[in-house]
Structure 1
Amino acid sequence: MEDRQKTEVLKALEALKKASKEIEANPDDGGGNATSPSMKALLELQTGSDDLLSGDPHLSTLSYLLSHLKELALALKSKHRKPGSFFALFQWRSDNNEISRVAGSIGTEIQSWIDRESVDRLNSATDDEERVALLAALKGRLAGGFDRGLQEVLLRSGAFAAVESVLADPTASKRVREQSAAAVLAMVRFNKDVFVGPILMGPTVGALVAMSSAAALAALNGLIAAIRSPLVDELHARGEIPGLVGLLAAGEVGVRVLALDCALEIGYYGRKEAVDAMLAEGLLKRLLSLQMSDLGGSLIEMDGKDQGPERIGDGIQAGVVEKARRGESRESQCRSTRPFASCVARFAVSVEVGEGLRQREKRAFKAEVLARVREAVIDEAEAATVLAEVLWGSTP
């Protein structure tokens, strides 16, 4: 089918889809009646699009459903419009429900065709503008929630592998690779059971770290939050943690902010080996440098408004990271202007309240953080502030 004809088919299908949705949603309000505006529009579209639909074998099921809907609507029209008996009322409702069901099937068939065509175009596209537009459209479609038909299209077409290959291609443009990163994350969120395995076995993780852009790190953060410890294990096993720690000294503030988010997520979900790897790469020195920069500072000292973390549960002192994670903290507003404020304590608390370390490992980690901070900070006043923040997040 030529591109021009496909465009005409797509316009016809979009109109059919709109009409079928109206009928499906309002079968008892006249939508299933052959004289209703939505049904009349659908039947007229069906008659006018017969030749277009016949040119694509994938639309044979849709053609059958449209013919069946027409038969149902005409049969209903020939009956009494206002049922006068209980049995007639029951039959009338049954006929309308059948029309609604067929209209729903029509909408599903149309969406499957659109999804298939969009993915096929994405797999064969070479123009950057077209790729970016198709990737953005795919991401939006995936954000609508799980859809079995869409999943089948993705699996049959090899869409994940195609998008991942673009992401891992250093010769592809930055815009296309960043949109590919967002699409990969959208696929994982769409169905983790299907797409986590390819993520862990494929080149996505290394490609995101190598790109070192804010968009790539945002996608990586989303993947860590979705996959948790298994992805952190992969980061450590592939030797990607030194590169992530190095990005804390990047020139772009946005990259440094997202690199910090990565460190916090790794601290929360990572096992001892991953946390030790970050410490060995000088993570705490980099965090101290960020905290003492113009975009840093101490949250407990800002305007005298923060009184320290709150006590929750059975005595655990929840610090900045845990409260921000649950959306409960006013400190998150401060971090919009000072993103590196109290980042040492935030990392320490992230590890302490996290899922990766055992309790005895958390105690040893706390002691190591305090020792390293004392060694790294020369100014006693600054050291006292940082140490106090770290201790606020400790567990008794």
Structure 2
Amino acid sequence: MVGKTNSTSTSHKNVYSLASGSDVSKAVLDLVDAAQNLQKNPANIAIVNNLIDKLKDLLLLERQTYALMRQNSGSRKKIESMFNLIQFLESQVRRLENAVQRQGLSYYLASISSKIRGNEVGRIGRSMETELQSWLDQECVREVADIAIKGSDEEEAVRIITSFEKIVQKGYNPLIQDTILSVGLVEKIVGLLVPGAAPWKVTEAAALALSALLDFNKNIFVSLVLMAKMVENVLQLMDLESDDHVLTLISVMKNMLLVGETIVADEIYAKDGIPKIVELLDHDVQDLQLEAVECIFMLVYYGRVEVVNELFQLDVIKKLALLQQKNAEKRHLPASVMCEMTPAAGASYHLVLTKLQEDIDGTGLHPFADAVSKFILHLSVGTGLRRREKRALKQEFLRQIREVLEDDTEVADITAEVLWAP
């Protein structure tokens, strides 16, 4: 996501060097380099002109191929985008040539550091570079769409999809968004998450790219239909993949919850995903347990009453208590401290998470320490429940902790905490 299409003079090769297999992309990359050099020396305008001529030849080949093969609308749009890019570049070259003719090339060459030369040539070179980089970003979107439809070499597919992920991570850009929507990219990438649709590395790259895309513009890309399909595919993959892969998938699920909030919590519940997440608490890999605990806290924070009730029915309080007890260095936070660290009701999940992490870091507690207390904290300040639902669920929580916790002092502290919580 390229916030207003910022110039990326130092990073474009890192992003595209492995993903620019086509002659067109290579020609545009060469033009990016030429535009950068043009800002240093206007005499390089001849190189720019030669590269534009090369791009014109490639455009002619694209048109001939399209005329013969009658390819899809994506090919036509690519041709249109190339034509528009060439027109823009030629207009910028004419501007520079006119400036050179007015002042004389020798004047420009003799005054490399002059304000006039720096402003005029630099502005033209930067505008060309920015437009070229924008075209490359949009072309990457189109390449990902082609991969999802036609398939590709595994390594190439991973590289191109990863390049797309880096683009959307830059920030919102309306041109990138329009290109994503015009090629129907979201649905196509979601299709790569279907078990068996692609090798794991491609599936993983697609999942991470989708996760980044949700952050790109959640108002557009977080929808009930999209979330339902993503949740379904991720949950199915969790049944089939190895522990390392499940770790990636649960991380993607957490980001989906963070962005999609109650919509995603509802879908996890509807697709019978809550038992799969709770089962990870019994796993012998601590990283998976930690990811599951965090995911459960998010479900409590964003989930409706049905979600929290199912967590209670699956003995999640007992499982969290066991994780606490296995922590040999566990030191329970007194209720007074927990009340001080409790954010106001309705606080953003980022605030809750940040505050909890600060207190954990400050006290040197094990990551599973006070897992039960944190559960009720997320319930108390969460956004998915009505006030009366929270009151009823707190009573059920208190009933369960009296059954599962052996330490009367800890029970008393947590009870006081629940009573004082918002």
* TM-score when normalising by structure 1: 0.79
- Report the AA paired with residue 56 of structure 1: E
- Contact kept in structure 2, 1:323 and 1:329, CA below 8 Å: no
Trace 1:1-396 onto structure 2 (pairs within 5 A). 7-20=22-35, 31=39, 34-35=42-43, 39=45, 41-47=47-53, 49-57=55-63, 58=79, 59-80=82-103, 101=127, 104-170=130-196, 172-197=198-223, 200=226, 202-212=228-238, 213-294=246-327, 297-300=330-333, 308-309=337-338, 311=340, 323-326=352-355, 329-332=358-361, 338-377=366-405, 379=406, 382-389=407-414, 391-392=416-417, 394-395=420-421
Distance of 2:139 and 2:356 partners within structure 1: 41
1:250 shift after superposition: 2.2
> Which range is displaced more, 219-228 or 43-52?
43-52
- Report the AA paired with residue 97 of structure 2: L
Distance of 2:160 and 2:344 partners within structure 1: 51
> Structure 1 residues 333, 126: closer, same or farther in 2, change over 3 A?
farther
* TM-score when normalising by structure 2: 0.74
Q: Deviations over 1:72-115 (max 9, x none)?
A: 211111113689xxxxx99x989986776566444433433344
> Structure 1 residues 307, 21: closer, same or farther in 2, change over 3 A?
farther
Distance of 1:118 and 1:385 partners within structure 2: 53
Distance of 1:349 and 1:120 partners within structure 2: 46
1:312 shift after superposition: 7.0
Q: Which runs of 5+ in 1 are unaligned?
A: 24-30, 84-88
Distance of 1:328 and 1:238 partners within structure 2: 31
The equivalent residue for 1:28 is: none
- Report the AA paired with residue 22 of structure 2: T
Equivalent pairs counted in the alignment come to 368
**Which protein, 1 or 2, shows the higher relative CO under an 8 Å CA cutoff with sep ≥ 6?**
2
The equivalent residue for 1:86 is: none
- Report the AA paired with residue 281 of structure 2: L
- Contact kept in structure 1, 2:303 and 2:385, CA below 8 Å: yes
- Report the AA paired with residue 188 of structure 1: L
- Report the AA paired with residue 72 of structure 1: R
RMSD (CA atoms): 3.7
Q: Which runs of 5+ in 2 are unaligned?
A: 1-18, 64-78, 109-114, 239-245
- Contact kept in structure 2, 1:168 and 1:207, CA below 8 Å: yes
- Contact kept in structure 2, 1:290 and 1:296, CA below 8 Å: no
- Contact kept in structure 2, 1:309 and 1:392, CA below 8 Å: yes
- Report the AA paired with residue 234 of structure 2: L
1:133 shift after superposition: 2.3
- Contact kept in structure 2, 1:315 and 1:395, CA below 8 Å: no
- Report the AA paired with residue 256 of structure 1: Q
Q: Deviations over 1:316-367 (max 9, x none)?
A: 8x9x9965434772314667x8321111100110110111222232232222
1:135 shift after superposition: 2.4
1:244 shift after superposition: 1.9
- Report the AA paired with residue 177 of structure 2: Q
Secondary structure, in 3 states, of the residue corresponding to 2:30?
helix
